[in-house]
Structure 1
Amino acid sequence: MEIQAPFFAFNPKSYFYGEQLLALAKKADELAEKYPYMTIFVTAPYADLANIAKQTKHIIVTAQHMDGMEPGRGMGAVLPESIAAAGAGAVFLNHAERPLQLTELVSAIKKAKKLEMKTIVCANSIEEARSIALLKPDILLCEPTELIGTGKTSDEDYIQKTNQAIKEIDSEIFILQAAGISTPEDVYHTLQLGTDGTGCTSGITKAVSPEKTLGDMIEAVNQVYKESEGK
């Protein structure tokens, strides 16, 4: 499945799993079918990937990490072939909660490309974003570590500078800005600043109605799309 901007990534980390997460994935799948001009990613714990992939068609089911290894020894490691076989179409790499050394990141991106999985690679700073852009990930997530889970979004200057820095290196890389996103208004504002996509964790998982909040955020993505297309 090709990536289409604007896009949205719901990353429940380890807050949701099983039937609760499946229900939200199905909601996202319905909206992805309704709005075929946008891409919706839903990450899941490894044990939930196959179940969600079997029961959805329009979202990109996404693993939260993988190791750039070959089949064989590696007790407890996350084998790329395993998550690909489970139905993962994309993978997060180098998240602040699961950082990778440069050699590990290079191997993981290379392996993902071999398996035709999209890569969403995280960067903590403009300097790190520039370096990672040279590795040609599909999406570069620019997210200052200190803002994760705070409800405070990146300031406009940071967003615009990172957008420009990445596009100067490789205009084909999609940019995801998601630090502190907690409301549909945050989604709208961030996309209006020229980024390709955004996403959310705690703003959805801690909401009174996670399903409604997920829907409202995706509707905000749709609003930006309609305005940009003059519809």
Structure 2
Amino acid sequence: MLLRGGQRLFLSGAPRFRHRGKVIAFQLKKDGAVKVAQSLQGEQIGSYFGSELCPLDMDGDGTTDVLLVAAPMFLGPQNKETGRVYVYLVGQRIAAISMPQALSYFGRSVDGRLDLDGDDLIDVAVGAQGAAVLLSSQPIVHLAPSLAVTPPAISVVQRDCIRRGQKAACLSAALCFQVTSRTSGHWNHRFYIQFTALLDEWTAGARAAFDGSGQRLSPKRLQLNVGNVTCEQLYFYVLVRRE
């Protein structure tokens, strides 16, 4: 597999190494010498960790992003050989018990070279006994929130509204979400989030509250688009202490 920076590693699986299995990543030097760069150890005896290896280039830049390592004999609940697939470098594991149907020997074959659902993202096919499971890749987005309050400071002199029968300072806040993604392809760039907001919730004698919602804003659903900034206007007030 090819890493960023041009380093090339070769992979070898040893599923019966010390009964737990092992994967070795090594470099082959120009003089023919072999140098071990890293090794991965299986965690369960008899799981056949390393029997199938599948490096994946998720973003099409020619370098390996993740490595799938199968352990098809991994024992799950009730000592059944459900199987397991480990995903490196992100540190996640896909277990057969999380699949929608009961599987055995999950990970006996693994392949990830094709886009099977037309979204330009590489998908992973995992074999099990009498079944094959397609794992569709999902894009990764970065969500950056920001908050701007108007006016930026509360005046103790200017009281421009009446709330709860008292003079108050009314304000607004623009809660914005900027969405970016490094995942290319023709996947759906729209998605929804649900958010809420709190004002002085843990403060005794709280004076700030949202219009019509109290200290806690009712959950709101907002549609976001990758590459855009989406804002929601929030209105609240602060009661001014009586002199």
Confirm or deny a common fold (TM above 0.5). no
Structure with a larger share of its residues in helix: 1
TM-score if structure 1 supplies the norm length?
A: 0.20
Structure with a larger share of its residues in strand: 2
